[in-house]
Amino acid sequence: MASPQIILYTNPNCPWAQRAHIALKELGLPYEEVFIDVEKPREDWHLAINPKGQVPTLSYDGTIITESGIVAQFLADAHPVTETGTGTVSKAGLLLPLNSLDGAIQRARIAYFVDACVSKVYPVLVGIIMNGESHNTSTERLVDVIEKDIEPLLALTSDEGRERFFGGSESLTLAEVLVGPFLLWIFTLVKTEYGVLSGDLVSALQIRAPRFESWGARVVAHESVRHVLDEEWVGKSLKGRWEGAVAKRKSKVEE
């Protein structure tokens, strides 16, 4: 297959857009990047390809695909793992072969996992930042939700001492592509220079959600995920929002 012409309309600091960047890097697909300033009104040409005016928007040989989860799934579907006659994987891919029952089960598990992360953990994380929650409260809330809703789903990420990705995969799956940007938030915000989340979060996770902690650390260290992180931008901008909310809470209490 000739290399497709791929254009990604993006803002690299947007976690949803980062999903597309991670998928493209992991699949080894070259692409052109068009920067969209989401703080400014969208231009007509952008609204014509994506009426929501959002990033990411993907143009794949001229076909427009929007919504980050759909963009990443599309890229994985369009570039599946292919096996050689000897059963070895011949090129990068994010899913098991499309037509196998194992592949279908793996995709269902990934979809369930990503939904749990986005519907249970993400709102807690955003709430902590937007409401300026204290370290004690935020550690408790995050560890509670991760221990209850995510940890049980990561049973196969470590296998006889071998460290794996979702479902026991040796390489990144769509689960890591779709959740990676939010893991980068967590593992950046615990750093002392940002301090939005308590440094104790990591040790609490090691005790109550050890699979999540070691899997998350492995994911954020992976080149395909890590390359999207402008740590200073993410750390400083989320810290600024959190500190603003902390100050607002304090002034309300003092009133």
Ligand X SMILES: N[C@@H](CCC(=O)N[C@@H](CS)C(=O)NCC(=O)O)C(=O)O
**Residues making contact with ligand X (CB under 6 A):** 11, 14, 16, 38, 53-56, 67-69
Closest approach, Cβ 53 to ligand X, in A, equals 5
What are the strands of the beta sheet with 6-10, ordered from one edge? 32-35, 6-10, 57-60, 63-66
Q: Are strands 6-10 and 32-35 parallel, antiparallel or unpaired?
A: parallel
Nearer to ligand X, 42 or 208 (CB): 42
**Smallest distance from the beta carbon of 68 to ligand X, in angstroms?**
3
155-162, long-range: CB < 8 A, 24+ apart: 155/211, 157/211, 157/214, 157/215, 158/211, 158/214, 158/215
Q: 61 and 55 in contact (C-beta within 8 Å)? A: no
- With respect to ligand X, which residue has the nearer C-beta, 55 or 146? 55
Distance of CA 133 to the CA centre of its chain: 23
Least gap, CB of 162 to ligand X (angstroms): 32
Q: Which CB, 12 or 168, lies closer to ligand X?
A: 12
The minimum distance between CB 18 and ligand X, in angstroms, equals 9
Structure tokens at 9: 């309309």
Cβ-based nearer residue to ligand X, 69 or 210: 69
Say which residues have a Cβ less than 8 Å from residue 166's Cβ, sequence separation at least 6: 109, 110, 113, 154, 156, 157, 173, 175, 176, 215
The nearest distance, CB 57 to ligand X, in angstroms, is: 8
| CB nearer to ligand X: pick between 122 and 202 | 122
